[in-house]
Structure 1
């Protein structure tokens, strides 16, 4: 059973709450309790929970209405209902409404542990399946066919490689594809943003002189032992880190602990050549892979519109079956500087603005350009990691995402392309009212 998971127990019987909490704490879970629906809602708003264990009968609200609220507020939270013999029918209804399972009273410890473990395993399987299907979309056309052939070769031969692509083209998704398809998928996947090394240097001159930033590079590399190590924004490495990276790339033994290194950048080859030391540039430029942009590619844009509309319908519980030709044409004509990620956000935003099963032309103003919710990073790469000093920018984007998602945290996190725990932490940090 996975530990360090957070669980909220809801029961108006204090003795039951304390008993369940005692059992679960001994198993390594982080546990909070609430005596009713109102207190539970407040708890959920204050911190992210992985699982809620709730009595189907509670003060202030019944279990089904509370379940409905949880599903709308954060659909990633697992809910297991506790039920008495007389409430089994309600428990079955709750599972149809989205509960993961139910546990009859009196509760046996081992039965409880098994139910929780099964719920987490089921969620992990679904997330892995959904993540794989979402990250590894294969659009039509020779350009993408060539790209995936190159990625397959990198995965099969466990080669160090450089990925070059504008923001939003899917560099992080390509890394995940290589990882899942390659021989390292059972070992760690570790990502290091070169900004972390730069900030370490800037943060303390003493630290810079002592080489602690370099230690972070080696520390992350060692953490990925036998797996895959992804260095984002490799162009931002200073000369000391470049030399360390060169040693990593050239001196590794090809044994069972060999670690594949994938580097990525938004810079052009010409710009990269001016930034990197010659030996490192020659080593990583050879065999580098360039990810396609969206601009002007009607067939590919149409494919992604269809895919992301299906995603939006499923996630937002919409039934949009058609899109007005005006919106289609604007999407074909738009330059998409944020590429796939910006297109995804635009389709989600359009879906949120649509009532009914047809996406009308009247919502087109504001979907594109400066008024749209633009992603500032690569696909599947967190928007908030770009520049943590820009607090006003982060807060503005969080508020916009929450407004678009009508307060749904899971959807807001998807729009921002961050995990929901990061979203919760940022909401708390900036005192965002939800």
Structure 2
């Protein structure tokens, strides 16, 4: 009988990809984005295994394990964690977690850990399939909405054109436009789709750990290397390696990356043996890499290596025909996550969604819709649930002070203006500039701005 898995992950896109992959492997999969939602689901459904991110918006995996101990729930739990949280993962295992797996997740390693968790065999699940999940999977088998605007059609025509090749693809676009989804869609449509898709956020990798994250390491290679580690190149072998925010890599790491791409061989830290790798590289950035080359911050030879084919993702405000389509798509996903049945938006809310400039693009819309779905008391979302940020389309932000990440000369001036406008509130400043907070911090450091 089919085994049931509950995924607890607040990265909705990653969670959906993982859900789709596990369903293809024959599991019945449900998802939750918070510990509270997960607890509610566990109490009312049969769950054979839990796959949980360590850090979640309301609590962490340790909190969930302690709750399960109090409830005497004997459900295997696998923790997903970044390299920096390995010690917390060890604590989780001491509290009864079945295992942990480091991010970026290697699907084959994860599958092996799941199979091990089901030994000896446990009673199969009888939980019913979420009808909203069925609707999403039927209407959007790729796990995401492409859109119907001319800009969207052109973008995905290019995606379908380049996907079957082995060309390296550089995806350019502002924060929140869906660069990782486009990368994953390239993988899905490629001849490598049966092999792993491994995503890495280059902006989150400390320089001193970059070689380990890319190439892996041997036990004892450096302080803290308590076990062997599989790097992203080996994890993605035969499949696709996606490097997000590639412009944030340090110059030294760029040299190492270029060598690996040229030789198609890697050497784990602390090892004398080289490993052959076969990966298709897809990268993404919201930086102007040509300007970075002129300033000496990015290697020109690496740029040409990763830029055999370029895709430009338009901002949401330039895809007016797609705005309500995405709003409904995110509403369906929010209904699924929050166990609600909101049917749509009233006329004023719809007009407001279409007229808003969306500096944070799809990521901002997804967050706004999810919050509105949570707050909605009736059958539809109104202006009241959308909040002042969206409803006040004539506010100072609406004049589109969105940061152009392709104009280095005015970039610092725009950042300073946004910080002054928000009283040095970095989260609000990033929203005005149309970038995420992590990117803003990188730019503050680059321009030596200390608000």
TM-score after normalising by structure 1: 0.51
Which residue of the partner structure matches residue 267 of structure 1? Answer: 287
Find the aligned partners of 1:157 and 1:359 in 2 and give their Cα distance: 43
Which residue of the partner structure matches residue 158 of structure 2? Answer: 150
Which residue of the partner structure matches residue 258 of structure 1? Answer: 278
1:335 corresponds, among 353, 357, 368, to 357
Alpha-carbon RMSD across the aligned residues, in angstroms, is: 4.6
Contact 2:207 2:250 in 1 (8 A): no
Aligned-pair CA distance for 1:317: 4.2
Structure of greater Rg: 1
Aligned-pair CA distance for 1:193: 2.2
When residues 325 and 271 of structure 1 are mapped into structure 2, their CA distance, relative to the original with a 3 A threshold, is farther
Find the aligned partners of 1:113 and 1:214 in 2 and give their Cα distance: 36
- 3-state secondary structure, aligned to 2:185: helix
Which residue of the partner structure matches residue 308 of structure 1? Answer: 330
Find the aligned partners of 2:318 and 2:48 in 1 and give their Cα distance: 42
Aligned-pair CA distance for 1:296: 4.5
Contact 1:308 1:344 in 2 (8 A): yes
* 1:104-183 equivalence runs, <5 A: 113=121, 115-116=123-124, 129=137, 133=141, 135-183=143-191
Find the aligned partners of 1:118 and 1:181 in 2 and give their Cα distance: 33
Contact 2:315 2:361 in 1 (8 A): yes
Which residue of the partner structure matches residue 278 of structure 1? Answer: 300
TM-score after normalising by structure 2: 0.49
Find the aligned partners of 2:215 and 2:318 in 1 and give their Cα distance: 44
When residues 184 and 326 of structure 1 are mapped into structure 2, their CA distance, relative to the original with a 3 A threshold, is same
Which residue of the partner structure matches residue 63 of structure 2? Answer: none
Per-residue CA shift, 1:132-171, capped at 9, x if unaligned? 6363312002211121122223320122111111111111
Aligned-pair CA distance for 1:364: 3.9
Matched, 1:362 2:345: no
When residues 130 and 164 of structure 1 are mapped into structure 2, their CA distance, relative to the original with a 3 A threshold, is farther
Find the aligned partners of 1:257 and 1:322 in 2 and give their Cα distance: 48
When residues 271 and 183 of structure 1 are mapped into structure 2, their CA distance, relative to the original with a 3 A threshold, is same
Aligned-pair CA distance for 1:269: 4.2
Structure 2, gaps ≥5 residues long:
7-37, 51-67, 69-74, 77-117, 218-229, 266-275, 393-426, 428-451
Q: Counting helix residues as a fraction of each chain, which structure ranks higher?
A: 1
- 3-state secondary structure, aligned to 1:156: coil
2:201 corresponds, among 184, 193, 203, to 193
Contact 2:176 2:361 in 1 (8 A): yes
Contact 2:331 2:344 in 1 (8 A): no
Structure 1, gaps ≥5 residues long:
7-39, 53-69, 71-76, 79-109, 202-207, 371-396, 398-434
Per-residue CA shift, 1:81-100, capped at 9, x if unaligned? xxxxxxxxxxxxxxxxxxxx
When residues 180 and 280 of structure 1 are mapped into structure 2, their CA distance, relative to the original with a 3 A threshold, is same
Find the aligned partners of 2:352 and 2:328 in 1 and give their Cα distance: 15
Contact 2:198 2:235 in 1 (8 A): yes
Matched, 1:346 2:390: no
